[in-house]
Amino acid sequence: MNLQVGLRKIISKAIRAGVVFTVAMQGVSQTGASSAPVVAPVPVQQAAPRGPAIGVPVVGMPGLHDPSTVVRFHGKYYVYSTGRGIPFYSSPDRVTWTREGSVFAQIPDEVHAAVPKNSGANVWAPDIVRVGDQFYLYYAVSSWGSFQSAIGLITNPVLDPKDPAYKWTDRGVVVTSDGTEDLNAIDPGVILAPDGTLWVCYGSYHGSIRVTQLDPKTGLALEPNKLGAAIATARESEASDLIFYGGYYYLFVNHGSCCKGKDSTYNIRVGRARAITGPYLDREGKPMTTGGGSLFLASDAQRIGPGHFGRVLDYDNVAAPERFSIHYEANLSLDGRSHLDIRPLSWSADGWPIAGDNAAGTATH
């Protein structure tokens, strides 16, 4: 519990200091499945921003923490992050990025009710995927001093705030933890599997990383009162994500500590399994449920604490080269703070992921 509180308090302080503070751009409307009222697009209190003003394109990777999977849709890349109301950025080319504001002003009532100690606006570590004609955006809500947490879902047919069809709709609570389970329901990582099934993995520094099957039609848990399968220990890991390649599911998790700037020890580990529910083993055959995980990416001299792996999803070009997104806890080549990066993803002859890098001066450096 002390580890979670310490880590998240540091993130919260960063948010309040303007790391990812933004104003709301849209409200969240309500559909029939949930009883929460419509959330009006009221302003969110804004601190002095660390980065550029909303709507101003700036060359260089944005400063943010806990990025979602980066998605490309209708000619733009989008990324969502920890912060008040889910801040997000867009880019036409992965070079110039624009702060777009926040997804909502306040957490939808049903989700907030599951974690009443939350301020009503602070959201952690979102993730996104497109299912059919809708984007499913998952986000975590928690409170200091407990593992009472929830993952919520909102949907939108498009991502550009200027599109007339742009409208986020609340779909309610996906999974929760009440503080007594072997679980902390934060850090969602969502995957639409090749067979059309939808899953979310989640968990952080308490108990287990778990995976739960979702209903692709609603985005919600198929069995909401049942704990998902434990696929990794969360005693020393968080920020899980799942991808599929060559007949295997690959589970990425973060080991080490975050939120300490250049002293962070975050590093990304990986294991694989034939079934999405595991067992996940690393290269040496050690189960991730007992702390296994082969090193995928660690710090270098300038880029400290890589974390929150996501495989870039290009919905405009399914044949685009593979890339992955992360943040660094401290990028010493920039301002020493947390920044997004997008790098090439390749594979070894025996089917293990390899973290590529960008040549100096290219799009993601």
Residues marked active site are found at 66, 238
Do 105 and 85 meet the contact criterion of CB atoms below 8 Å apart?
Answer: yes
**For residue 279, cis peptide bond before it (omega within 30 degrees of 0):** yes
Query: Which has the closest alpha carbon to 277: 199, 165, 170?
Result: 199
Contact criterion met (CB below 8 Å) for 239 and 187: yes
Nearest to 83 by CA among 14, 149, 4: 14
Specify the 3-state DSSP secondary structure of 4: helix
Torsion of CA 228, 230, 233, 235, to 10 degrees: 40
Report the DSSP beta bridge partners of residue 297.
268
Half-sphere exposure of 298 (CA within 13 A, CB side): 8
The dihedrals phi and psi of 173, each to the nearest 5 degrees, come to -90, 135
Separation of alpha carbons 313 and 308, rounded Å:
15
Q: What's the CA gap between 343 and 210, in Å, rounded?
A: 27
Tell me the C-alpha distance between 254 and 239, whole Å.
Answer: 6
Q: DSSP states of 209-264 as a string?
A: EEEEEE-TTTSSBSSTTSPPEEEEE-SSEEEEEEEEETTEEEEEEEES--SSGGG-
Q: Which long-range contacts (CB under 8 A, 24 or more apart) does 28-31 make?
A: 28/103, 28/104, 28/108, 28/154, 28/168, 28/169, 28/170, 29/167, 29/168, 29/169, 29/170, 30/108, 30/169, 30/170, 31/169, 31/170, 31/171
Which residues neighbour 217 within 8 Å (Cβ) at sequence distance 6 or greater?
A: none
